[in-house]
Amino acid sequence: MEILAKYPLKIWSYYREIQEVNHFNPYIGNITASFLITGKYMESKDIKGYIRWYLENTDNKGVMHDFLIYRDFSQKKLDFYDSIDGYVGSFLILFYLYVLNTGDRDFFIKNKKCLLKKGFLLFSLKNEKGLFEASYDKKVSYLMDNMEVYGGFVSLSRLLKKVGDDRWKIFQDEAYSLKNRVLEMFYDKEKGVFNWAIKGDEVFKSNCTILYPDLVAQLFPLMYGILRGEKRKNVMGCIGKINPFVLPKEQYFVYCLSFRLERLFSSFL
């Protein structure tokens, strides 16, 4: 029997040096894998192996947890995840990028039920404002996470449409709606940038002299192609202050992806 845990460790090795015990964060794994497949730095069979491992270790509700993965490929599921919305959204995007780069529609058809479960899981995180909260315990709507939910909806919609499943319309409509809410609720017209989070009535405003989360958050509306005209010009002015060569590795991956994926996702609008 194939040991699937070798694949997340292979992905992880591009993020940091492998230790005897590795705390594997699935969100960082998804971002790293997306960076690798779009840059053609890793063979598609290894990306597919990672996706298989991910699906095999997702719980019955569609939720993925962090793992300890050992050098010998044994693993231990942790009673912890940093978010639900970001993990799900980034995984749906990765799956779409894999199919787009390989043409492997059969792999999607085989796993469609699991991906739909993940897509519908996101609806349980939607609040009264129509934004998505990080988890059931973390009642915060982050710009980054909401853009990944948007990207996840677009990705799942496109995959379903490719195989003639009419449920693609559900996720397309939700993506359109979320894009409008993000532009309305997160964008600060006076400053010309996006606020990085909203919690109840509290708005966390971005300061373009602060790298994280303020500046890095601006990459996500760019990455998922929702910027046009003056908004794009303003946000690019802020992004221009980022020196990608001093970024932590996962933020560097996001920086590169924001320019690689913008055109792909902007064609959805």
Would you write out the chain's pLDDT as a tens digit for each of its 269 residues?
799 999 999 999 999 999 999 999 999 999 999 999 999 999 999 999 999 999 999 999 999 999 999 999 999 999 999 999 999 999 999 999 999 999 999 999 999 999 999 999 999 999 999 999 999 999 999 999 999 999 999 999 999 999 999 999 999 999 999 999 999 999 999 999 999 999 999 999 999 999 999 999 999 999 999 999 999 999 999 999 999 999 999 999 999 999 999 999 998 76
**Domain span including residue 96:** 6-266
Q: Rounded CA gap, 98 and 52, in Å?
A: 12
The answer to whether 192 and 146 have CB atoms below 8 angstroms apart is no
pTM of the predicted protein model: 0.98
Which pLDDT score, from 0 to 100, does residue 269 have?
Answer: 62
The answer to whether 12 and 22 have CB atoms below 8 angstroms apart is yes
Q: What is the CATH number of the domain that holds 205?
A: 1.50.10.10
| Residue 38, domain member (yes or no) | yes
Q: Rounded CA gap, 11 and 46, in Å?
A: 8
| Residue 170, domain member (yes or no) | yes
C-alpha pair distances (Å), 162 with each of 43, 159, 167 = 24, 5, 11
| Residue 1, domain member (yes or no) | no
Which pLDDT score, from 0 to 100, does residue 1 have?
Answer: 77
DSSP state of 209: T
| Residue 178, domain member (yes or no) | yes
Q: Rounded CA gap, 119 and 178, in Å?
A: 14
| Residue 180, domain member (yes or no) | yes
Number of domains in the chain: 1
Tokens in use for 100? 């787009």
